[in-house]
Amino acid sequence: MRRIIMFRKVFNERAPVMFKRSVYLIAAISVLSWTALAGAGDFVEDFESYQVHALLNDLPNWTTVVYGAAGTEISGGDYFIDNINGSQRLHSPRGGGTLAVINPDVLTLGKGTDLDMSVDIYYNGVAIGNGLIFYYQDQNNFYYVEMVAPNNANSFRFIKRVGGSNQTIFEQAPAGLELNTEYRLHVQYKAASNTFDIRLETLSDGNIVQEFENVADDTFRGGQVGVWANSSFNGSFDNLTVVMPSGTAGGPSPADGATDVRREVVLSWEPGESAGQHDVYFGTSFDDVNSAAVTVDLTGVYRGRQSANSYAVPERLDLGQTYYWRIDEVNAAPDNAVFRGSVWQFTAEPVAYTIENVTVTASSANRDDESPENTINGSGLDDSGLHSSESTAMWLSSGTDPNPTWIRYEFDRVHKLYQMLLWNYNTSVEPLVGFGIKEATIEYSVDGTDWSVLGTTHEFAKGPGLPGYASNTTIDLEGAAARHVRITANSNWGGILNQYGLSEVRFSSIPVVATEPSPNSGTAEVSADAILSFRAGREAATHNVYLSTD
């Protein structure tokens, strides 16, 4: 059985040719919604129930995302639904910028899931570029097929956009496209072989105009689907259709992409329609899990066929390891059809966790905006963990500090310390002056009074004095139990001035205390027969439980 989802009508542009920007329409509906709306049949969206000139933003579950240059503003009124010659169509912006229309309840095809989609496209005038867009991750990462008609390049191309740059996978030019002609564009992805079949045919007689077969590329293996067109496209889309097996498993637990998953894990899922049994695949390689079958399993990822819709992984997960799993649903008799599932993934809990709620003091600071707090507040760090070269995002000691220069960190409680990640001082003058700490003594303490020295003298790598600085010093804290850590500078990289600096310091610890209490702390109206539970500390052998009203 196949489930067919059809989205009807959709695009007509009468804007002047000068406005040549792209419009991406990611038209989709969630897998769970399919059953509610259509069961195993067809669902047709033709906008008939919506008011003429209704804003697209007013339709249920649609949002608009601006692409194009920063500061571009698009009026919602530029998009509207109208009835032209008895046909519902969606108009694109009148000279607006590049934008996307995305349904948040997306049809997000999972990794390793077969895809079969098609759309009817009609050229009735100037047609710059349009086609299907699929496995959309964000505005800079997706596949698309582009049709450019005779009045322009007359080409047919399969392109992937990676990191904002287009890369042509396959192209045919001239493509034999004609104006005032209606075509059907068909894209099929075969997950088992990671290949695409792409076909363009005339709708009137099914004549194949262009066809790419078994095109291999696995840059994106799941994502949203829809149609796209340049904003000066003068034509229309109709019958956007997505076909998927109706019997596939869904609702994975752990969720697809989950992190910090406990090392003892039970996989579970929502069974597909008519599923009688389930083939379970589990391993550490996407390719192994994606390509394996009951009869072909070279790496041992096939875990067997079972009737329960859960599977307790018998081995303990490796810390920080990413795992992949797939459930193929096997229908009950008489057909015993097998419905291949998506490849899901999750990552086990890490070796250590970054310590939050850290406070810091230092022997001195050069200025108020060069305080020690700059080493723990993330100032100067971007989302990739790269540091700037701005002095106001770093700590620098005073040049008149009469005592040995030190900086001291305090945590919210005693931790079993794992590592210290350090970014040294990094202003543009660092290559000449060398304020960054070179040699240091590291001490730790439980109470801030009695101190122990960690190893011998430690050397911190020099900062380059350039923006985009990645941490280049990692100190093994050897599992020390401590609430305080103190760094005392013995020398700096310049050896010229009696000043010392750091950019950022991060501490991590091994989770040896209980967490995730249930009921949560502060919960009211708890049942009188509640069962207390918690996530055990990693090295715990037994648990001492205390319960009181005070």
CATH assignment at residue 150: 2.60.120.560
Most confident of 148-152, 154-158, 391-395, 528-532: 391-395
Where is the domain boundary, 329, 348, 367? 348
pTM score = 0.67
Where is the domain boundary, 348, 369, 396? 348
| Sequence-separated (6 or more) residues with CB below 8 Å from residue 448 | 410, 483, 484
pLDDT at 128: 56
Clarify whether residues 68 and 118 are in a common domain. Answer: yes
pLDDT at 267: 98
Distance, first Cα to last Cα, the chain: 61
Are residues 162 and 144 in contact, defined by beta-carbon separation less than 8 angstroms?
no
Clarify whether residues 305 and 394 are in a common domain. Answer: no
Let me know if residue 390 belongs to a domain: yes
Give percent above pLDDT 70 in the chain: 74
The identity of residue 77, as a single letter, is G
Is residue 54 over pLDDT 60? Answer: no
**How does pLDDT run across 362-374, given as a tens digit for each residue?**
999 999 999 999 9
Clarify whether residues 173 and 49 are in a common domain. Answer: yes
Where is the domain boundary, 348, 370, 385? 348
Clarify whether residues 505 and 383 are in a common domain. Answer: yes
Q: Which is more confidently placed, 97 or 154? A: 154
Clarify whether residues 261 and 222 are in a common domain. Answer: no
Going by the DSSP 8-state scheme, the letter that residue 383 receives in this structure is: T
In whole angstroms, what is the distance from residue 1 CA to residue 402 CA?
A: 81
Rounded mean pLDDT, 208-231: 80
Clarify whether residues 318 and 439 are in a common domain. Answer: no
In total, how many domains does the chain have?
3
Let me know if residue 530 belongs to a domain: no
Rounded mean pLDDT, 179-183: 82
Contacts for 191-198 with beta carbons within 8 Å, 24 or more apart? Answer: 191/112, 191/113, 191/114, 191/221, 191/290, 191/340, 192/290, 192/291, 192/340, 194/218, 194/221, 194/290, 196/158, 198/145, 198/158, 198/170
Nearest to 342 by CA among 332, 328, 330: 328
The boundaries of the domain holding residue 139 are 2-245
Let me know if residue 527 belongs to a domain: no
Nearest to 231 by CA among 127, 84, 145, 161: 127
| Sequence-separated (6 or more) residues with CB below 8 Å from residue 447 | 483, 484
Let me know if residue 531 belongs to a domain: no
Clarify whether residues 365 and 331 are in a common domain. Answer: no
Q: How confident is the model at residue 247 (pLDDT cuts 50, 70, 90)?
A: confident
Most confident of 92-96, 122-126, 251-255, 277-281: 277-281
- Mean pLDDT over all residues of the chain? 78
Are residues 57 and 101 in contact, defined by beta-carbon separation less than 8 angstroms?
no
Nearest to 514 by CA among 542, 480, 485: 542
Sort strands 395-396 and 386-387 into parallel, antiparallel or unpaired: unpaired
Query: H or E segment at 431?
Result: helix 430-433
Clarify whether residues 472 and 499 are in a common domain. Answer: yes
Let me know if residue 521 belongs to a domain: no
Residue 385 CB-density burial (10 A; 0-12 exposed, 13-18 middle, 19+ buried): middle
In whole angstroms, what is the distance from residue 145 CA to residue 76 CA?
A: 27
C-beta atoms surrounding 453 within 10 Å = 12
Of 120-124, 260-264, 403-407, 525-529, the poorest mean pLDDT is in: 120-124
Clarify whether residues 327 and 367 are in a common domain. Answer: no
E strand segments, 109-154: 115-123, 130-138, 141-148
Residue 206 CB-density burial (10 A; 0-12 exposed, 13-18 middle, 19+ buried): exposed
Clarify whether residues 45 and 191 are in a common domain. Answer: yes
Is residue 29 over pLDDT 60? Answer: no
Clarify whether residues 373 and 286 are in a common domain. Answer: no
Most confident of 58-62, 73-77, 398-402, 403-407: 403-407
pLDDT at 396: 98
Let me know if residue 517 belongs to a domain: no
Clarify whether residues 237 and 272 are in a common domain. Answer: no
Let me know if residue 523 belongs to a domain: no
Let me know if residue 540 belongs to a domain: no
The neighbouring-strand residues paired with 383 are: none
Helices (H), 272-421: 286-291
Is residue 95 over pLDDT 70? Answer: no
pLDDT at 274: 80
Rounded mean pLDDT, 532-538: 90
Whole-angstrom CA distances from 55 to 52, 85, 212, 217 are 9, 20, 38, 38
CATH assignment at residue 315: 2.60.40.10
